[in-house]
Chains A and B, each alone.
Chain A
Amino acid sequence: MTTLRPDPLTTSTFRERARAQLAKPFLREAVPKATDHAVAALRTRFADHDYEALRELGRAIRAEAIADLDRHLADLEQALVANGVRVHHAADAGAARDLIRGIVRDAGGRTVVKVKSMATEEIDLNPALAADGVRVVETDLGEYVVQLDGDRPSHIIAPIIHKTRGEVRESLSRAVGRELPDDAAALTGVARAQLRDAFMEADVGISGANFGVADTGTICLVTNEGNGRMCTSLPRVHIALMGVERVVPRMTDLAVLLPLLTGAGTGQLVTSYVNLLSGPRRPGEPDGPEEMHVVLLDNGRRALRGTPYEEVLHCIRCGACQNVCPVYRQVGGHAYGWVYGGPIGAVLTPLFRGQRDGGELSQATSLCGACDDVCPVKIPLHDLLLSLRRDRAAAGVAPRGERIAARLWSWAWAHPATYRLSVRLARAASLPARHPAVARRLPLAGRWAAGRTLPRPARRPYHRRLR
C-alpha cells in the first residue's frame, strides 16, 4: 500500500508510539474523561431498555448483510442507479483515490468540502486531491482542526479528543491570523465563519457513508454539526465513499442500527442530523447537487469473508470499544499508528496492512473483553485479537527473542519434568518479585512482570494437594 503521508506503522513500534503518547499529561486526563462521559451516556440511554435484545437484532442484521454481501451490494447498486446515482467500484485505496480525483477533475472542482469519513482517511484522499491543486476543507470542527495541524484523528467519532482547548485556540488563531479568546463558544464561532466561506465556494462535497440501504438506494449519513447536510446540499456534485461492508438490506433495519450506533457512540437517542440521501436534486426541489456519485471501496474487505475475521465486517464504527478499552484510554488513538485505534483498530490494522506492519497491535490489548461487552453488534473482538496473535506466531514476524521464549515455554510445558521445574522456579522467584525493582530484573519475564503486582504463591501448589 502506498501512503502519501509519513507512515508511523512502518517507521516505529507500538511501544515507542505509546511511550510518546503517555508522556503527554493532558492525554491521560482527557481521554479517560471524555470516554467516561460516553460510557456513562450509553448506560443512561439504555437504562430502562433491553440493550442486550437490541444488540442481538443488530448483530443479526449485520450478519445477514455480510453473509450475502454480493447480492445486497448488487441490490444497492441497482437501486442507486434507478435513483440517478452513478456507482463506481474501487478494488483498493489507489483505485478509490483515482476514481474520486477523476470525478473532481471532470466536475472542474477547485474547492472540495468534506464530511468526516474514516474511509477517506483509510485511502489517504486529501493529500492526493491537494496534489492535483484542489483545495480540500474538512468541515467537521474536529477534523478541521486536525487538518490545520497536519494531524490525524485519534478517535473514530471524536477526532480531537487528544487536544486541549488551548491547542485548538492556537491552531485556529494561526488559521485566521489573529489571537482568539480561550473560549469554546468563541472558537466554534470562528470555525463556523471560516467553514461557511468554504461551503459557499465549494464545487464538490465528499462524504463517507454510515449505511448504504439496498432496498431504497439510499446513503445514510449521520452527523451532529449539520456539515453532512451542508456538504450534500450546496455543492454541485456529491461523492460518497462507502466501504462495501456498510450495506444493509432494508430501510427498516435503520430502526435497529441507528439507536445502536448513536447510543453506543455518543449516548444520544438520535444524532441531530440523520441524512437519507437517495440521488441528485429532483425537479421541484429548490436545491441539492446535480450529480451524486457513490464509490464502493473494497480495499481488503471482501477477502475477509469466510475467514475467522468475517465478523469484523459487521462493525458500524461507533467508537464504543475505544471508550472502554483500558489500553486505548491510556495511550489514545495515535499510538496504534494507522487510521483506526482501540480494539477495532488492533483488529483491522493487521488485517488491512498485514502482519508484518500491523501484527504487533494484537499485543496492544489486555484481553479483558470490555470491548466485546459494549460492542453494539456483538463482535467478539477479543477472540479476533487472540486469533491474530496465533496468526502472528505462525507468520514468524514477532521479534526473535519473543519467538524463542515462546518456543521454549511451549516445549517446557509439554513435558512434566520441565513443567514442574518451571513451577518451582516461578515459586522461588515470585515472592521476591513482588517487589517492582526485582520484578524488572526477572529473566525473560522482566517486562511482563514490571507492570504487574504478582500474586502471592500458595503454600502448597494445587497439583501437590491433588495427590
Chain B
Amino acid sequence: MTAAPDPALLARIAPTELRPGEDPVTRFVREARLVQTAVEVTTRDRLAAAVTEALRAEGARRVAVAADLAPLRYEMAARLREAGIEAVRYEDVAPDRDAVRDLDATVTGCMAAVAATGSIVTGGAAGRGGALVAPVHVCVVERSRLFDGLLALLRALPDLGAASAIALQTGPSRTADIEKTLILGMHGPKAVHVVVVVDAPATPAP
C-alpha cells in the first residue's frame, strides 16, 4: 500500500513541481512563455488596460467575458466597450452555437494556476468552453491563486469549489500530427494571453 506522494520527495524528482526556494511568479512566467503563452505581470489598477491591449493586439472585436471574473467583470466590460470592443457575457452566448462561432476572443478568470508548469486551471463559472471556443483567450490570474506545483493543485482541488469539469490549460491548442510540424490553434485558441495580477487579491484566495 502506497500513500499519497510525499511533497518533499516529489519536488526533487518531478519537473512539474517547484524547486525549493524558487520564486513562483518567475517560474510561472518562464514556463508559460516556453509554451507560447503571452504573459504580462501587472497590478490591479493596470489590469483592465492590460486586457484591452492584449485584445487589441489580436484584433478582437467581439468578446465574451466569463462570470468567473466577477466582481471585476462589469468594470472590465465597460472598459472594453470604451475601447470599441463589443463585450457580451459568456453564459449568454454559450447556448447559441452560431454566436459562439462569431466570437473573436474570450476573457476569463481562473480557478487556479500552477507555477511549475505555467498552467491555468479553468472551469466552474467560466464553463468548459469559456477558455476554449474562441481563437483568442485572455486569462486573468490573481497571484493568490498561484500554486507551486501540480501536487499542491491536486491536493487543493476539493477546496476550489465543486465544478463538473476543470481543465489544466498550458499554452495554446497545438498539434504536430503532420510530419511533426508544430501548429497552434488546432481546436482551441491559437493565442493565449495571461495577465498576472500581483497585488492585493480582488477575490478571496483559495
Contacts and interface: CB of A to CB of B under 8 A. Distances in A.
Nearest to B97: A200
A159 B175 CA distance: 12
Q: Main SS of chain B's interface residues? A: loop
Contact of B154 (A30, A187, A251, A281): A251
Interface in B149-165: 149-151, 154-155, 157-158, 162-165
Nearest to B165: A277
Interface string A212-236: 0000100000001111011011100
Contact of B128 (A50, A259, A287): A287
Interface string A284-312: 11111000000000000000000000000
Determine the interface band of chain B, counting residues with CB < 8 A from chain A.
35 or more
Contacts of B170: 269-274
A447 B167 CA distance: 53
A285 B154 contact: no
Interface in B105-161: 116-119, 124-130, 132-133, 149-151, 154-155, 157-158
Contact of B5 (A64, A188, A256, A271): A256
Interface stretch (B10-18, B73-81, B198-206): B10-18
B164 A277 contact: yes
Interface residues of A, number: 76
Contacts of A54: 13-14
Nearest to B186: A225
A276 B66 CA distance: 20
Contacts of A256: 5, 10, 14
Contacts of A436: none
11 contacts: A53-B13, A60-B2, A64-B1, A140-B177, A141-B177, A225-B188, A230-B132, A233-B129, A272-B173, A278-B164, A286-B129
Nearest 8 CB-CB pairs, A to B?
A226-B188, A233-B128, A286-B91, A255-B151, A226-B173, A142-B177, A225-B186, A286-B127
Interface of A: 30, 33-34, 37, 45-46, 49-51, 53-54, 57, 60-61, 64, 83, 139-142, 145, 158-160, 164-165, 168, 184-185, 187-188, 191-192, 195-196, 199-200, 216, 224-227, 229-230, 232-234, 250-256, 258-259, 263, 269-282, 284-288
